[in-house]
Chains A and B, each alone.
Chain A
């Protein structure tokens, strides 16, 4: 078997593994059907309450340096879709810092697949489906998305999800060196959400540089929304490139940190 064939088989195996994990997580979430739908519904309503606040604001202000309510709806659509995909497929990222600190990665170290993938796909958040439904409605009402742009929206949400997860992994991996980072890593994951949902036109100078580097909010929502308004291959390549680069850095930092990992010497079974 050639090297390329071996790699392709490896990728296929990983994808099958991911599919099986996601399907198992979904079944586990649906086991408590009432709780599942309650979370989906409340997250859906939750997202629209934020939009109501912006509606109140834009009733009094015509625009913020050209930014209007439609742009806010589009930004919330991309952010909700990205965050929804991230927590459906990789909500384990929110527990990663704790797992590292408490030596709880032992159960995934013995898995035949990637430790990082196994850790972050070990949990799924049902509320993420509520985010996805919200994203669909927000895209429909913002006025920028025609049926032909639906595949583009899916790609943008997928790259946003990768950026969310990469940021989460990066912050959580600091626990390998700094110890207890649970609270800060969880909050850090949400900082990205905060920066992603405000009008991009209010950020200038060093803050704008910060939002396209240390915190990739620019690549999660600002650039995608400008792409929905006016397509450009350059912007499209920048968004996908950013997702690849951030994911690469996150995997590298996690791998370096894993060398310092000390087992919790615990007996446990991974469900």
Chain B
């Protein structure tokens, strides 16, 4: 219980810091607005033709608003761990009364929560303006907890990339690849519904399908049972990735003991 209080303190401190350093969140908000404007033009042009899979331009736009809300909500967190490893800061942080890796995760969650609030407001305002209508409010309510769970999954993946620096010395290539898999198999720009069957099957075996498409599909249709199933899949992925982080962290401590921070 006392441990949980320590991590919550780290989370609150990180959230406060993120709120004070607004530049990054502001830049991401602008980024989101630009993407929504670009895609509103794309869907308008597609709508002039035969359309796409029976999904209208407004639905596509709200889908993108939700997937970008989750994707842009995640900071480039692996860089923070990479810097700790490169500077050797990990070594002295080990002496603190909280686990390095879990306190980093709490720090990341603090950043994510502030971003989700700010980006959520931006997505709602710009989405409404560009789409000209609201999606089903019940579907948006379903997307809210799913978005938070999805961010925990994506953050755990970033922590894993950060820990890989102990062996690979450079997290960027792994990050690029995983980020692009997230874009493709998560259906970041367009729903997995329009993908060929074989790509949908591959996507289903990755955490990105639930973490990105699972959140975005709420803009296409309100299906509480599917949302509940998505939440369960996300919790399962949190368990798997959490265990992987714990394992990788134990292995990385051996590298610190042998080679120093």
**Contact digits for B45-56, partner A, Cβ 8 Å, 1 yes 0 no:** 110111011000
Instruction: Confirm or deny: B199 has a beta carbon within 8 angstroms of a beta carbon on chain A.
Output: yes
Give the Cβ gap from A207 to chain B, nearest Cβ, in Å.
7
Give the Cβ gap from B80 to chain A, nearest Cβ, in Å.
14
Chain B contacts for A43, CB-based, 8 A: 173, 176
Chain B contacts for A9, CB-based, 8 A: none
Chain A contacts for B173, CB-based, 8 A: 38-39, 41-43
Chain A contacts for B134, CB-based, 8 A: none
With both beta carbons as reference points, the residue of chain B lying nearest to A48 in the complex is identified as B180
- CA of A183 to CA of B76, assembled, Å: 12
Q: Which of A22-68 contact B (CB under 8 A)?
A: 32, 35, 38-39, 41-43, 45-46, 49-50, 52-53, 56-57, 59-65
Instruction: Confirm or deny: B23 has a beta carbon within 8 angstroms of a beta carbon on chain A.
Output: yes
Chain A contacts for B48, CB-based, 8 A: 65
Given A38-B170, A56-B194, A201-B45: A184 and B27 within 8 A (CB)? yes
Partner of A61, one of B24, B52, B172: B52
Give the Cβ gap from B130 to chain A, nearest Cβ, in Å.
12
Chain B contacts for A39, CB-based, 8 A: 170, 172-173
Given A49-B183, A50-B180: A195 and B194 within 8 A (CB)? no
- CA of A37 to CA of B199, assembled, Å: 29
A183 touches B42 (CB 8 A): no
Q: Which of B160-188 contact A (CB under 8 A)?
A: 168-170, 172-174, 176-177, 180-181, 183-184
What is the interface size of chain B, counting residues whose CB is below 8 A from a CB of the partner?
A: 39
Instruction: Confirm or deny: B195 has a beta carbon within 8 angstroms of a beta carbon on chain A.
Output: yes
Given A184-B27, A202-B45: A195 and B199 within 8 A (CB)? no
Given A35-B170, A49-B183: A61 and B46 within 8 A (CB)? yes
Give the Cβ gap from B86 to chain A, nearest Cβ, in Å.
13
- CA of A41 to CA of B173, assembled, Å: 8
A198 touches B38 (CB 8 A): yes
Chain B contacts for A202, CB-based, 8 A: 38, 41-42, 44-45
**Contact digits for B25-59, partner A, Cβ 8 Å, 1 yes 0 no:** 01110110011011001101110111011000000
Give the Cβ gap from A57 to chain B, nearest Cβ, in Å.
6
A64 touches B26 (CB 8 A): no
Chain B contacts for A32, CB-based, 8 A: 169
Given A61-B49, A65-B48, A183-B23: A191 and B31 within 8 A (CB)? yes
- CA of A180 to CA of B44, assembled, Å: 37
Instruction: Confirm or deny: B196 has a beta carbon within 8 angstroms of a beta carbon on chain A.
Output: yes
- CA of A35 to CA of B168, assembled, Å: 8
A194 touches B38 (CB 8 A): yes
**Contact digits for B195-222, partner A, Cβ 8 Å, 1 yes 0 no:** 1100100000000000000000000000
Chain A contacts for B52, CB-based, 8 A: 60-61
A53 touches B38 (CB 8 A): no
Partner of A62, one of B49, B53, B195: B49
B42 touches A64 (CB 8 A): yes
Q: Which of A172-216 contact B (CB under 8 A)?
A: 180-184, 186-187, 191, 194-195, 198-199, 201-204, 207
B23 touches A203 (CB 8 A): no
A195 touches B34 (CB 8 A): yes
Instruction: Confirm or deny: B189 has a beta carbon within 8 angstroms of a beta carbon on chain A.
Output: yes
B38 touches A195 (CB 8 A): yes
> 6 closest Cβ contacts across the A-B interface?
A42-B173, A49-B180, A202-B41, A187-B27, A183-B23, A183-B24
